[in-house]
Structure 1
Amino acid sequence: MLWKWTIDFCKDPANLPTAKYGKSNVSILEDEDLAADIHLHLQTLEFQARLKVKKKISLRTAQRWMKRMEYRWRAEPKRQHSDGHEREDVALENMTRWWKSDGTKDGDVKEHVFAAGPDVGRVVVIWHHDKSIFYAHDRWKLRWVHKSETAKPYAKGEGASMMVADLVSPDYGWLVGRTHDADSGKLKATQTLFRPGKNRDGYQTTDDILDQVTAAMNILDKDYPNDKRIFAYDNATIHTARPAKALSA
């Protein structure tokens, strides 16, 4: 259709495709972006009437006011994190490296807690499992976000999706080995690309997760033998599946 509309427009600049609002059973107000614009416009009129403001404020004044009201112009929040690293029963912070905001080290490991055995002086490196899904027509949504706002579930974008899964740490970045793969000649890595869908790559399973973490362990055993490592996964059902032959409670 895009191709056809483009050709029609080249032949006649007045021939533009029209929206089919009014020809379906769905109200135009069901469009969340349009409804939000109308709501914002009505709030503006109400604000001007209540304060008897006849002259519009400048853009810079509006931006300054928004910041004072603790709003920030940023990408729409898409993830929810639970901050639990300061609990008393979590002792990993004394075993890990610390970094400053500019990327330089903030001193060395705070305390070597491994006093005996093969782990003497070994630093704990936490590898976080990172999974991102990209959609063909998705785009970043920039707007004013209040500091108290948290991420909310949202519908996926139009078009086919692509999932990228990898392991990352603040110490080494993305997990990449220091030796080359014999077949490809490239450095061994743990990044996986997955095209979800019934007629594509299917759907990611626990076996896919296990294959990836096994590859990660092989790389770490060979290329990072001096680190003590921990794999961190979010609380998703695909990460907590039982063995295939295990009984279900």
Structure 2
Amino acid sequence: MFLGSFQCQIPVPHMADLMAPRYQSFQIEKPVSEFFTGTYPWDEKDQDADKEEAHSLDVEDEEIDLRAIGKFEITHILFHEDLPEMKEIRDGKQCQAPTKWGASALQATVSMGRGHYCTRQLTTLVRKFLDDRTFLLVNPYGDWNQSMLIDEDLSLDINLYLQEIGKDVSAKKVKGQYADGHECEDVVYYQDHTFLPQWKVLEARMENWSKENEKEHGPRPDGKTVISWFNDECIFYANDRTLRGWYHKDSPEKPYTKGEGAPLMIGKFVSAKFGWLQSPDGKQSTRIIMKPGKNCDGYMTADDIVDQANCAMDILTEWYPEYEHVSIYDNTPTHLKRPDGLLSARRMPKNIPKEGHNWVVEVTKRDNTGNPVHLPDRTTAKEKIKMGNARFADGTPQALYFPEGHPRTGVFKGMAYILEECGLVKELKLHAECKNFKCAPLAIDCCCHWVLYNQPDFTHIPTILKNTCNTRGFRLIYLPNFHCELNFIEQCWGYAKRIYRLNPPSSKEEVLEKYALAVLDSISLAQMRRFSNRSQKFMDAYVKGLNGRQAAWAARKYKGHRVLPDSLMDDLEKAKIT
């Protein structure tokens, strides 16, 4: 590697030292005896300079010469004032040189493959250093035409350093924002017309913190302070360790355990005010721990979610009654489950079933206490019941099955018959359902299923979870689909998993649980607040009309901001982000 005009070897243990402007040792490639010791035409013009430099050292012996210390050891003089050669100069000891000033400089530059310009620069630098011992070179990084990696010594040092840090550094591309479905019209419509308006009203009464974890002060509307509690679940795997990293090409292959290993699901609530939801003494917690799988604890059900919500409301009512609490869940089927037997157009047939057949709904069978009934193979027992009644526009009940006295008593009427009773005659000609029920965004009358799905009596049915919260005086909001960036607990999971992967590998389930709980408890409240600020930054971006790509760009650019600046649109235009 070339530092200005000097070749050096840098044996240092840390990458930061590799890039430092001062270096620890330098290597002399050839002894002085191998250099050409003759004179050059320009040596005569340097004689006066030689004498002037010698006198400037204030030493007794004027025969001292700096012209050929090592490989014109100016490399040592400039960077290591404590080397023996430098000590001899300071002490006034004789240091004979076989050539004069110009010849010595040229020998040094020729040995490095450089020319006369380098020679002149070298002598200039030496004189500056002799006048001022604090003068040191500044490395012109970025101005070279050759890569620093052509130097074998530097490449070796970097190679060794990368092997030291090993798995802590990876060249794997970091995952970006989830994009599939993010910009669907119906998703954006719900985001802009339902979620964000509700959030902005509540946000005005929330407490906020800066990136330095300092509480922000300012006017707030009257009313209780709002605390938003974000909910989610995360799965840790026993064999989830970092495998991608830097390895030497000749290093032996190290075996590792195949497969993900035993899973452990953990469900929690989190807020920027208090962190994980628990009582002040830590004895009560909303944490759910289960081993998912058919042969383990099964899977998270709507009943589990409701139980967790009730536990959360118990803690909040007992310990934090002075706040207004809002639960925020993502749009998953478990969270959106409706009571069994209530209206749902999803699987209704268009016509009346054939003779001897009927259409009913299959629900979970429950015992007298309301708990699900399980079969010997540990699966949940099912039973079939009739769907509940709908309602006409005036609010009167509309039976979905033929009444007593009808030739098909108790048989499902079919969607066509139900639509006709509602006066929706034109819709009778529609087909039953769009393919896979994937109707066009914001469609109104594309199929019978979609028409019924959007009727007031079908849409205004609260989910089990929302009904549970509303009954106890708590508010619940659902996040838009495919918007994980709005739920800052996702960042808590990511942070915890990164720390979890640093633990020694183990296939034991008790060790898995120990590591998982430890890393979750290690997340500081200040870190959670920074995660919350980042999610709020995305919300503010969507309020300002940005799409997902623009919001992700803004989140990276304006670090530490909770609200994006007024110059946002101009910055987007300059960056050509669309």
The code of the aligned residue for 1:104 comes to: E
Q: Secondary structure at the match of 1:216?
A: helix
- Asked whether 1:112 is paired with 2:208, we answer no
CA distance in 2, matches of 1:87, 1:247: 28
CA distance in 2, matches of 1:104, 1:111: 16
Partner of 2:287: 191
CA distance in 1, matches of 2:213, 2:172: 23
Task: Evaluate the alpha carbon distance shift between residue 126 and residue 246 of structure 1 in structure 2; reply closer, same or farther with a 3 A threshold.
Answer: same
Q: Is the Cα–Cα contact under 8 Å of residues 196 and 202 in structure 1 kept in the other structure?
A: yes
Q: Secondary structure at the match of 2:228?
A: strand
Q: Is the Cα–Cα contact under 8 Å of residues 130 and 165 in structure 1 kept in the other structure?
A: yes
**How many percent of aligned residue pairs carry the same amino acid?**
33
The code of the aligned residue for 1:189 comes to: S
The code of the aligned residue for 2:175 comes to: P
Partner of 2:235: 133
Partner of 1:55: 150
- Asked whether 1:220 is paired with 2:330, we answer no
- Following superposition of structure 1 onto structure 2, how do residues 25-174 of structure 1 map, counting pairs within 5 Å? 55=150, 76-77=174-175, 80=178, 87=196, 90-107=200-217, 110-114=218-222, 120=223, 122-140=224-242, 158-174=260-276
Higher strand fraction (1 or 2) = 1
| Relative contact order, higher structure (CA 8 A, sep 6+) | 1
Higher helix fraction (1 or 2) = 2
C-alpha RMSD over aligned residues:
3.9
CA distance in 2, matches of 1:175, 1:204: 19
The code of the aligned residue for 1:162 comes to: L
Q: Secondary structure at the match of 2:304?
A: helix
Task: Evaluate the alpha carbon distance shift between residue 241 and residue 159 of structure 1 in structure 2; reply closer, same or farther with a 3 A threshold.
Answer: same
Q: Is the Cα–Cα contact under 8 Å of residues 164 and 191 in structure 1 kept in the other structure?
A: yes
The code of the aligned residue for 1:169 comes to: S
Q: Secondary structure at the match of 1:188?
A: coil
How far 1:73 moved relative to its partner?
A: 6.9
- Asked whether 1:248 is paired with 2:344, we answer yes
How far 1:247 moved relative to its partner?
A: 3.4
CA displacement 1:59-79 (0-9 Å, x = unmatched): 98xxxxxxxxxxx97894387
CA distance in 2, matches of 1:78, 1:161: 25
Task: Evaluate the alpha carbon distance shift between residue 111 and residue 210 of structure 1 in structure 2; reply closer, same or farther with a 3 A threshold.
Answer: farther
Task: Evaluate the alpha carbon distance shift between residue 91 and residue 75 of structure 1 in structure 2; reply closer, same or farther with a 3 A threshold.
Answer: farther
CA displacement 1:160-192 (0-9 Å, x = unmatched): 21000000000000001136xxxxxx6111001
Partner of 1:176: 278
- Point out where structure 2 has 5 or more consecutive residues left out of the alignment: 1-144, 159-169, 183-187, 246-258, 346-578
Q: Which has the larger radius of gyration?
A: 2
The code of the aligned residue for 2:150 comes to: K
Q: Is the Cα–Cα contact under 8 Å of residues 129 and 165 in structure 1 kept in the other structure?
A: yes
CA distance in 2, matches of 1:136, 1:225: 39
Q: Secondary structure at the match of 2:330?
A: coil
